[in-house]
Structure 1
Amino acid sequence: MATHGDDNRTYTATAAEYTEACARFRRLHEPGHLLILPNAWDVTSARALMQAGFNAIGTTSLATAFGAGVEDGTGQTRDQTIDLARQLGRLKALVTVDIESGFSERDDEVAAVVRELAEAGIVGCNIEDGTSTGKLVPADRQIEKIRACREADADIFINARIDTYWVGSAEGDAAANEVLERARRYVDAGADGIFIPALADAAQIRAYCKEIPAPVNVLYSPAGLTVAELNDAGAARLSTGSFLFRHAISGAVEAVREIVGGALPGAEVPAYGEFLG
C-alpha cells in the first residue's frame, strides 16, 4: 500500500493503483520523445515544478546531502532521503528518488530502502555504481544490488547509473565497451533504464541508444546537447540532476549581491501572497 495525497489530505493507494502509477512512469520513457525530468530538493521546489507543468519529478542526492551538512555520495543520508520521499509521495506527481549506491553494502538493507520508497508511493529510483573514493563498484557487486532492488519491488522503475565517464579509469573505446557491458548486465539483472552522466557527444549517445536494450537517460549540462539534439539521438530521458538546486542557490547569492550594490532585483519574482498560488 502506498500513501499519496495533496496539500490538505492523504489517501492510501491500492497495490493495483501503485502498479499503474509505475507503469505510467515507465511509459514516459520513449526514445525520441524525451522525458524532461527536473530534480527537486524539497516539497516547495517539487510543487513549483508541478505548477510549471511537470508531472514527473526526480530528487537530487547532492541537495539532500548538502542540506544535511554532509558530502554527496557518501551514504550518510538514508534517513533524510526516505523522509523526503515520504513528503513527495503525498504530492500528485510521479516521483523518482536518488538513493546514491543504496546507502549500504548489504543487499537486504538496499532492498529495505526500495521497499520504503514503494510504500511511500515513489515510482522510481536511481542507483549508481560510482563511489566516493573515485572508483567504480565491481560490476558483479552492482548487479547484486540491482537484483536486490528488483526483488524488493516488482513495479518500481530502477534507473541504473553508470559512472564510467565520471570516475572510471577507462577512456575512448575501452570506456564505451565498459559502459555497454555494464548496461547490458544491469538490464539483465532487472534495471529498467540506464543513466549515463557526462555524455555530451551526439554520436556516442546515438550509439548507446541503439545498442543498450533499455531507455537511456542523460544528464543536463550547459555544455551538452539541446532537447532537439537528444531526441534526434534517441535518448529517452533528460535529468537536471543538481543543476536546478545549484542554479537556485547561485541566484539567491547573486540577488543579495545586487541589493548590496544598490540595485533592486526581483521585480519578476512572485509576491509573498502570490508565491505558489
Structure 2
Amino acid sequence: MSDPASVFRALHRGRAPGDPLVLPGPWDAAGARVFEDAGFPALATPSAGIAASLGYEDGRTPAHEMFAAVARITRAVSVPVSADVEGGYGLAPGELVERLLEAGAVGCNLEDSADGVLLDPRRQADRLARVCAAAAGRLFVNARIDTYVRGLPGGADPVAETIARARLYAEAGADCVYPIMAPADDLPRLSAAVPVPLNTNGMPDDPPGLRRLGELGASRITFGPLMQIHAMDAVRKLAERVRTG
C-alpha cells in the first residue's frame, strides 16, 4: 500500500467511535506546512478558502487557478492532500482526473448541485461512476450531498433523500459521502444506512465536539473554509493592534 491514494483510503477505514479522521483545510502552502507540522496525517483543501486567498468569491475561482493552488499545497507537504473541486468545472471525467493527479491530489470532493439547485441524483451517480472509472483507484472520491443546503420539495424528508443519494453514489464507486451541514442528530441514521464512510463538517475550535461527531457516526471531519476564516480574524486583530498602537 505505497501509493498515496491507498494510504489516504486506509486512513478512513476502521475508525473507532469517537476517533474520526480530522482533516484540516489548507488554503495555501504555508498553512499546509503548519498543519503537517502539527501532526495531521492528511489534509483536505477547501474551495471557498482557496477562493478567498486568491481574491475570488466562493464558486468563482477559475479552474486553472484552483488546480495551480492545489499543486502548490501538495508540493509543500509530504502527507496526502484531497482537493475540493466543487462540481468539477465542467471538465470531462477523464480530464478532471488527470488535472487532479497532475496537481498531486490523492482525492477530491464533487458536489451534487449547480447554481444553487440539486442535480438529478442518477445523472450525478453516472458522472461519479465515470470519474471513478477514469481514476481506477488513483483518487479517493468524496461525493458531497447538498440536500441540507439546497431546497427540497415541500414536505420532503432530507434524511431519506440524503440516504437515497448516498446509496446511489456509493454504488457508483464513491469512497465516501459528505452530506454537508447535516445536523448532528441525523448522523446516526445516515451512517447506519450508508455503506461507505461518512464525512461531516465540524468546528475547529471545539475538539470535544469533533469526538462527539465521531461517536454519532462520522468517520471523517472537515471544516470547509473555517480555518482560513479564523486565521484572517487573527490577522485582522493583529493589524488593528499595529494600527492603533
With normalisation by structure 1, the TM-score equals: 0.79
Counterpart of 1:137, as a letter, is L
Q: Deviations over 1:166-208 (max 9, x none)?
A: 1132577611111001000001111000011112323x10111
| Cα distance per residue 1:209-234 (max 9 Å; x no partner) | 11111100001147987122112112
Q: 1:139-172: CA deviations, max 9, x gaps?
A: 1221122122112211210000001111132577
8 Å Cα contact 1:193-1:217 kept in structure 2 = yes
Q: Is the 8 A contact 2:200 2:222 kept in 1?
A: yes
Matches for 1:256-267 after TM superposition, within 5 Å: 256-262=239-245
Aligned partner (choices 57, 78, 86) of residue 71 of structure 2? 86
Distance in 2, matches of 1:170 and 1:247, equals 35
**Does residue 249 in structure 1 map to residue 235 in structure 2?**
no
In structure 2, the residue corresponding to 1:70 is in which secondary structure? coil
Q: How does 1:49-60 map to 2 (within 5 A)?
A: 49-60=35-46
Distance 2:228 2:44 in 1: 12
Change (3 A) 1:170 1:247: farther
In structure 1, list runs of 5 or more residues that go unmatched: 1-15, 263-277
Percent sequence identity over aligned pairs: 31
Indicate how the Cα distance of structure 1 residues 85 and 222 shifts in structure 2: closer, same or farther if over 3 A, else same. Answer: closer
Q: Which residue of 2 aligns with 1:271?
A: none
Q: Using the alignment, how far apart are the partners of 2:242 and 2:54 within structure 1?
A: 28
For residues 1-277 of structure 1, the aligned pairs below 5 Å read 17-18=2-3, 21-30=4-13, 31=15, 32=17, 33-74=19-60, 76-90=61-75, 91-104=77-90, 108=92, 110-131=93-114, 133-155=115-137, 156-170=139-153, 174-202=157-185, 204-221=186-203, 226-262=209-245
SS in 2 for 1:39: coil
| Closer/same/farther in 2, CA of residues 51 and 201 from structure 1, 3 Å limit | same
Q: CA RMSD in A?
A: 2.2
CA–CA separation in structure 2 for the residues paired with 1:148 and 1:181: 19
More deviation, 147-156/32-41: 147-156
Aligned to 1:12: none
How far the C-alpha of 1:116 sits from its partner, in A, is: 2.1
Indicate how the Cα distance of structure 1 residues 228 and 17 shifts in structure 2: closer, same or farther if over 3 A, else same.
closer
Classify 1:184/1:93 alpha carbon distance in 2 versus 1 (closer, same or farther; 3 Å): same
Structure 1 position 17, deviation (Å) = 4.0
Distance in 2, Cα, partners of 1:188 & 1:158 = 12
Q: Which amino acid aligns with 1:47?
A: R
Shift in Å at residue 68 of structure 1?
3.5
Cα–Cα, structure 1 residues 172 and 212, in superposed 2: closer, same or farther, change >3 Å?
farther
Deviates more, 1:252-261 or 1:30-39: 252-261
Give, as a single letter, the amino acid of the residue that structure 2 aligns with 1:95.
V
SS in 2 for 1:207: helix
Name the SS for the 1:158 alignment partner: strand
Q: How many residues align?
A: 239
State the AA in 2 paired with 1:117: L
Q: Distance in 2 between matches of 1:190 and 1:259?
A: 52
Question: Which residue of the partner structure matches residue 6 of structure 1?
Answer: none
